[in-house]
């Protein structure tokens, strides 16, 4: 009975025209995207909690293997997560306080520079009003900038409690997850092995990316401090967040750093900051990370940009920051499935695909097994 009903549904689906099927699929896609957009308050904290849980799950697992109840391991890992969140919160609060103090001074400096530029253009016969450029930045704009920054910090602090609560319950479920999967998988051994491989690869990517982002942020903070550039802590935090986005994150983070150095210290210091950001980003992003993670863990620059545009449209700035981790998790999952591995290969960077194309072609079934 059920098979006949399924066959009738398939026949009715394939009976419609291709044009109608395309419209139905597009309509379903629009509904899904709209649902993701309106579900942002749920998905963003859940994804942040999943990242924190993935990073600290080894602590809970280690304590559970020593015979302690799962709740104890989850509590210890939660303490580590709370320490991380509180530390980041204190750094952000300090950076926000420094921003509130310095923004009016920088806006006044920019106003003076624009006034000088307007007068220089007037001397060359270009009709530019000095007031239009020199008064483009006022205290109202400073209040708006600081107000939006403070509002962002408050929103992040309010969602931190929800994230930590989700992390605690996720860590409590970690030890029993393998038993649950074993009860529902058709082939428990191979299925669990594939799930464990995916989890280990995702955890390795998140851990390495977090460490390298922290490393390059520390380098930027030291560089800006040595060059006596203001807002060093805030600019280092911006670089830490944007470094999760390969290829384009570090150059975007360099723009405000160079701008602050230019306004405060002049073109020489701004050039030194730009060179420092370029060298640090190149060494970490193109040398250290590929050696630790491997080329297969990279993404095509086009895929990175498209994912940033899509998830930024769906979830705003938080979606743009989470876009690359989401794509990497999807790629790891696809790469561990023989049926969908070709999609993972399409997401890889150009140099990875070029190196794979230069491999010798297998000539026998046994050679194909040796050269997957």
pLDDT tens digits along 128-161: 665 554 454 554 554 455 455 555 555 555 677 7
Q: Residue 371: which pLDDT band, with cuts at 50, 70 and 90?
A: very low
pLDDT the model gives residue 88? 79
* Same domain as 140, residue 80: yes
Task: Specify the range with the lowest mean pLDDT, choosing from 67-71, 179-183, 221-225.
Answer: 179-183
The answer to whether residue 179 sits within a structural domain is no
Cβ contact 81:167 at 8 Å: yes
* Same domain as 278, residue 152: no
* Same domain as 167, residue 199: no
- Structurally, the chain folds into a number of domains equal to 2
Give the other-Cβ count within 10 Å of 60's Cβ.
Answer: 27
pLDDT the model gives residue 169? 81
For the segment 22-33, the average pLDDT, to the nearest whole number, is 86
The answer to whether residue 307 sits within a structural domain is yes
Cβ contact 61:199 at 8 Å: no
* Same domain as 148, residue 70: yes
Domain containing residue 69: 38-174
Rounded to the nearest 10 degrees, what angle do helices 249-265 and 70-123 cross at?
50
pTM: 0.73
The answer to whether residue 285 sits within a structural domain is yes
Q: Residue 366: which pLDDT band, with cuts at 50, 70 and 90?
A: very low
Q: E strands, 133-241, where?
A: none
Tokens of 340: 């969908």
Which of 106, 140, 174 terminates a domain? The answer is: 174
The answer to whether residue 228 sits within a structural domain is yes
Q: Which residues contact 273 (CB under 8 A, 6 or more apart)?
A: 223, 224, 227, 229, 254, 257, 258, 261
| 159 vs 172 pLDDT, higher one | 172
Q: Which of 81-85, 86-90, 231-235, 289-293 has the highest mean pLDDT?
A: 231-235
Q: Report d(CA 178, CA 184) in Å as an integer.
A: 10
* Same domain as 198, residue 145: no
* Same domain as 342, residue 265: yes
pLDDT the model gives residue 334? 84
- pLDDT tens across 54-110, in order? 888 888 888 878 877 878 888 888 888 888 888 877 887 788 777 777 777 777 777
Tokens of 85: 């969140």
- For the chain, how many helices (H) and strands (E)? 16, 0
The answer to whether residue 106 sits within a structural domain is yes
pLDDT the model gives residue 274? 93
Cβ contact 299:328 at 8 Å: yes
The answer to whether residue 369 sits within a structural domain is no
The residue among 208, 258, 261, 253 whose CA lies nearest residue 230 is: 261
pLDDT the model gives residue 271? 93
Q: What's the CA angle centered on 236, arms 151 and 349, to 5 degrees?
A: 105
The answer to whether residue 7 sits within a structural domain is no
Cβ contact 57:203 at 8 Å: yes
Q: Residue 236: which pLDDT band, with cuts at 50, 70 and 90?
A: very high
Q: Which residues contact 372 (CB under 8 A, 6 or more apart)?
A: none
| Mean pLDDT across the chain | 76
* Same domain as 251, residue 163: no
* Same domain as 167, residue 213: no
Examine the pLDDT at 27 and tell me if it is beyond 80.
yes
pLDDT the model gives residue 359? 55
The answer to whether residue 122 sits within a structural domain is yes
Which of 174, 205, 239 terminates a domain? The answer is: 174
Q: Residue 226: which pLDDT band, with cuts at 50, 70 and 90?
A: very high
Q: Report d(CA 4, CA 185) in Å as an integer.
A: 27
For the segment 160-173, the average pLDDT, to the nearest whole number, is 79
The residue among 48, 32, 27, 39 whose CA lies nearest residue 315 is: 39
Cβ contact 331:299 at 8 Å: yes
Which of 174, 200, 216 terminates a domain? The answer is: 174
| 63 vs 271 pLDDT, higher one | 271
pLDDT the model gives residue 15? 55
* Same domain as 324, residue 281: yes
Examine the pLDDT at 358 and tell me if it is beyond 80.
no
Q: Residue 326: which pLDDT band, with cuts at 50, 70 and 90?
A: confident
* Same domain as 212, residue 340: yes
* Same domain as 238, residue 137: no
182-219 burial, b at 16+ Cβ within 10 Å, e below that, comes to: eeeeeeeeeebeebeebeebbebbbeebbebbebbbeb
Q: Report d(CA 332, CA 36) in Å as an integer.
A: 22
* Same domain as 320, residue 196: yes
pLDDT the model gives residue 344? 83
């Amino acid at each position: 009975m059920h098979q006949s009903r399924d066959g009738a549904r398939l026949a009715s689906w394939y009976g419609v025209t291709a044009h109608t099927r395309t419209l139905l699929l597009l309509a379903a896609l629009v509904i899904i995207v709209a649902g993701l957009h309106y579900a942002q308050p749920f998905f963003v904290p859940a994804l942040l909690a999943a990242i924190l849980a993935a990073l600290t799950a080894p602590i809970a697992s280690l304590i559970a293997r020593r015979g302690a109840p799962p709740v104890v391991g989850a509590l210890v890992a939660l303490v580590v997560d709370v320490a991380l969140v509180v530390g980041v919160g204190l750094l952000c609060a300090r950076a926000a306080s420094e921003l509130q103090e310095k923004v009016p001074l920088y806006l006044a400096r920019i106003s003076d520079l624009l006034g000088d530029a307007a007068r220089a253009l007037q001397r060359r016969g270009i009709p530019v009003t000095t007031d239009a450029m020199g008064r483009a930045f006022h205290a109202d704009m400073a209040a708006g900038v600081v107000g939006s920054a403070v509002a962002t910090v408050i929103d992040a602090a309010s969602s931190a409690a929800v994230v930590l609560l989700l992390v605690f319950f996720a860590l409590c479920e970690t030890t029993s997850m393998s038993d649950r999967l074993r009860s529902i998988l058709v082939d428990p051994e191979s299925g669990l092995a594939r799930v464990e491989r995916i989890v280990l690869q995702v955890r390795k990517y998140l851990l390495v990316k977090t460490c390298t982002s922290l490393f390059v942020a520390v380098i930027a903070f030291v560089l800006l401090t040595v060059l006596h550039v203001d807002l060093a802590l805030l600019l280092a935090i911006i670089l830490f967040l944007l470094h999760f986005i390969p290829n384009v994150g570090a150059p975007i983070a360099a723009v405000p750093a160079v701008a602050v150095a230019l306004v405060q210290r002049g073109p020489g210091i701004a050039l030194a900051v730009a060179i420092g950001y370029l060298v640090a980003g190149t060494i970490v992003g193109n040398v250290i990370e590929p050696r630790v993670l491997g080329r297969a863990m990279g993404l095509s620059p086009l895929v990175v940009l498209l994912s940033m545009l899509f998830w930024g449209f769906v979830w705003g700035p938080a979606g743009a920051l989470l876009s690359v981790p989401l794509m990497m998790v999807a790629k790891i999952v696809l790469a561990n499935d023989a049926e969908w591995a070709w999609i993972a290969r399409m997401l890889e960077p150009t140099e990875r695909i070029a190196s794979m194309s230069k491999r010798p072609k297998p000539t026998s079934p046994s050679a194909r097994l040796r050269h997957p």
